[in-house]
Amino acid sequence: MGDIYFERKVAVVTGAGGKLCSVIAKHLAERGCYVVLIGRTFEKLKKTADSIHAVNGTCMIKTADVCDEKSLQKVADEVKEEWGSCRFLINGAGGNNNKAITTNYYFDPLELSDEKPEEMRGFFDLDMDIFESVVRTNTIGTVVPMRVFGKQMAAENAGAVINFASMNSYRPLTRVPAYAIAKAGIVNLTEFLAVYFANAGIRVNAVAPGFFINDRSIKILGSPEIGLTERGKSVIRQTPSGRFGNPEDLLGTIDWLLDDRLSAYVTGQTVAVDGGFQAHAGV
């Protein structure tokens, strides 16, 4: 349903081919935004674009690496020439890599043994190139879009940015050290950017989704349909709402944080959308 506040405003969504951001992109198009879909894989972006066209929304696809400032600047220039300056920026690109995840929850002496099981991947076994790529994608992949699209916002003295934090932003969950480093950094970066750009009319906030099922996390958590893993059962026990999140659960928070009519005095905040996960002490 259109909204005059959102109509014809340019909304840039990175990671727009992903499970969460594809739904956010479609929602913003339904609100009336002109949505720029950015990601590395055209086929995934095309699926998002098709869903937007199905509701008579307006979007354009731009394949780019969010860590490559030169290529992203080219995208920003093309967007501005065709539609005008970016007004909303959703920094959704990121994610984890299974090779940056340990198989064991705690140190096991077998990690140092010649008899270590082949399937075991401890902290000492992590591929550091992949580890670094996870940190880089989630952090530099947020900084670069802010630099190139933030210039347009600053020139217009108006803008709202939403970064993607995580439950890992509040405390390091077991098994995912690279992702924990990155998402803890996103909260700090969000606060820095909010302070730095306040006098440029740009508000910068973040959302911290709880546990949502996507193609990667289903391998670790399972799902109600195929059965939960032990880790998935643990997450549900820790979540007072008793379920995983649905992408639509994020939309109210996204609307609120983007809309100056509702959140003009809100900046530098990270808002958890987690079914109560972080509030639960576990006992």
* Active-site annotation holds for 179: yes
DSSP 3-state of 88:
strand
CA distance 145 to 38: 10
The contacts found for 79-85 with CB under 8 angstroms, 24 or more apart, are 79/10, 79/12, 79/36, 80/152, 83/10, 83/34, 83/36, 84/10, 85/10, 85/152, 85/153, 85/155, 85/156
Which ranges of the chain does DSSP label H, i.e. alpha helix?
19-31, 42-53, 69-83, 128-156, 177-197, 218-221, 230-238, 251-258, 260-263
Catalytic residue, candidates 5, 34, 179, 265 = 179
Q: Give me 256's structure tokens.
A: 């609120």
How far is CA 84 from its chain centroid? Answer: 24
- Residue 203: how many other CB atoms lie within 10 Å: 24
Backbone angles phi, psi at 267, to 5 degrees: -155, 150
Distance CA 28, CA 19 (A): 15
**DSSP strand pairing (202-209 vs 222-223):** unpaired
Residues with a catalytic annotation lie at 179
